[in-house]
Structure 1
């Protein structure tokens, strides 16, 4: 924008003529550069890419290209002097962008062929992309038991995968050559498949960017019909003239399309009952009515699909209906101070649907009656702690009840320890103490110890204060041995009745007991029996005697050993 002037004159009398020219330069961009790290990207994340151009006049136009195709959305800004132009692009790379060329081009629109650009090769990191296919030459719709099957796992990932897993029904498979399961990185081999091999198979791969799971492949192994749930024999109870509904359910691949029934009884030949059956959703139902003893026997059912007829039939033994057997092998579990769980094993149901009942007793009082339809399992709540109960269990069906099981002893646990005193959140008038838990326990223990010691001291003092010494007596010659003498043959005065041995012994000086007798004490009696059958003085057999304590103490003169008259006999 400089101004150049051209001036001409030929006389001082005329002003000079002047021509002025302003120079407006148009400049091509000198350089274009990227700002920030554009060496690698993670797929799915957003990045702000910045491109800067310098030296263009007027300001350069900046355009972004990916693999030769222009990208829209760049935000362009220009510096105050117009020399620097900046463009910011919000860029979200995809895994398919890996290896493509990203370019930033600056150009002056008024100058042809003034374009300059900066390019980068995109390095995009992404989690594995996984795909599973059945092995070459295998027909997924015609795989039978015993055949060999293998899968391939196809991967693309950047960076490359660290680990590959094979899944069946969402669970990871482990290499087990003995069971015919071979896992070899990107290949899974199943040798000698069975119906248990059917399921949904998938491949999972992981790298530093994450993990991915392929879509599932549903493997269907064709096999002949077999009894559903693996139950091949069942017992059905039926009364005479009572129709029963017998359902034959089978598993097969593909589904069974035909069934046949047969009845076999010892008195007669087998009978074909297929015409009395109907098919319902891949199963067969037979309505059977036993009318006499010969109609009780065995029903057999076979199913057929594209592979063939069922090898082992489903068997139903029709027996006369009756009362069920009681549950057995009852056990206790989850015992607490207020609840318990009782579990038993089912007995024979008598051929009919049965229910179970538990009756709980506390002593002779029934405290609970719990029934169960699914099985003999009972949860008993609301019990008292440290209490003994008795549980009796039986079952019943439409024909009646079973015998009761042997009463089961249920003992609840003691209640938890002393609960801590809750601190009151309400204000109280009485002053509160600051005794903590341990100090309070120490004070209580000390007080209890002091009370016990004081009580023991008082008892010892009372014994010493009121103790009466028994008189010393020399055993006469020929006295029986101590083990032959009754331990209670020497009885103190005032505490027993006067025996003839004490009355006739001149060496005995009985003490006075009037001061020890309290007339306010109520009379009481005891029954006494000598340890030996002979009197220690006379060696004569004695009979058990009845001793009345209080009346004798109050009426006997211990100095003379003479009892006063009394309504009851002393002995």
Structure 2
């Protein structure tokens, strides 16, 4: 009986687990997400968060940590219960480097693993979640890095002479031309820090010192960090390095900015130069006092100055002081010697000597000397000509006589320079042109005499005379146009430049043969002869033969103008109307129109088109009309409305217009326009195609083009044409209105 009971229980259990397994395969759903960093800084806090979604009950969370270099993983188990307490990593039976805790949030379905003050705990971190029907895991690798720390440097002058430096320390002072080795140490970093040496100049510019640096050395410490060092040999080969900064930079992937230490360079340098001032270029007079300045520049330490006159020491009338040097960290020493001029000292050497006891004997001395002399700047500067008149395209007469000479009294002897228009044209006391002169050679010439004391100059005026030339209308192929009406007297002015200009005589001529380019000219009979020798004439057009070319010549004492000024007399007035205007194509929404330009009236012309919708056929509801100001013209009726006012201006009389209504009557006006006014208008009439017409053809509604007054015969022919159209269309009212507009 008991055996039967146990068998029944066993079968029930088997059936229960079979049922659960079947349910798990059909309903189980468990998803995991593990969030956390891949890389962490040494000493920081790291949090891993393991979140899950499950269809059934999660009852256990296991954190497994496999540290790098360890064969045994660390495991921390949490129950998914509201009363579950955090598990301390250091209390889990392990004496490893882990600090922190593992916890679970039952309500929000996640567990966290918190590592505090992390050391080098690189490894694989795994989260295992178990539910009633499933178990899943996910993992993440962690790598711990450490930025460079404890950077120090050591300077080695010799094997037995070295010193350690801290950030901001000064290296030196060392003599210019010497060198030293400096070694930079990074006590701890992971991964090994990369060390780079830089030099920063006084302007803040950084220069990498790779060529001066040796290879990097590194060694792993027992703690897991790395000790790194790199040396550099630096030579103080120039004083420009004084005040520069040597920088040791160290960085690895744990640093957002390089870690660095900086050391300022200090040097001992001799003076760059010694200068004497106040005597050179100064006239020394007996009994007068002069202050002579001697400056020793850019030395460290500062130099001591002594004076000698003709090798005899001077100890009286001397004042010394020290100033900051031009180079960073250096000093300049200035000494002022008050000298009483004595003729016996003329030609003697006055010397200034600088010494630096700290430097070697070969480098500590520097001197400068000056020879005392009575000097004065150039005076009594004179030229052999004070005013010079030349002729264009001729060699100056002074060139054949040896040129123009400049002289001056000076000690030391003067140097001479000839200048014209701020440019040097000759060096030496003599000016020779050496060529035929042009108009560009006119102006003020300066002879400048100078020596080390000063300079003096004198000017000479040069005039260049030339025969007349035309300053306007000088192009024969593009003469100046003179618009003149019949029987109208028009003033024509000839603009000639010449020197001299007081004796200019003008000649006005007409070409004998305008088809040739020779200079055979005749005086026109219609000139006002009383003014034919002046710059302006009055020209009267008495017939069409008087519309031709004019030429103006001029003469002075130098000669006759090489080319005349060119003019052409043309009829003046408004342009003629455009010709042969016709509608080329008509569409339902517009048309194209083309004319041939008429005579332009002697001025450039443009063409203006206006469009009106006739009052009988215009659809006022669809168009916004305005009454044109020109509707007083009899060619337009008072009920006609402007569609496009006078803004359709073209250089050529051609238009393509769109935007009109289909099946409507329109009237077009074309006008030529120049600066003298408008031409007589030309009127055209047309009817646009109906919208359902698919073809575009030549307009059959063009009635006429009226311009100005028409001859009687043309007028009758036009009347007959209009009558024929009226009979054909059988639209009496329309024909009447068109007749009124067409023959205005």
TM-score class normalised by the smaller sequence: 0.3 to 0.5
Task: Give the structure-1-normalised TM-score.
Answer: 0.40
Task: Give the structure-2-normalised TM-score.
Answer: 0.32
Structure (1/2) with the larger strand percentage: 2
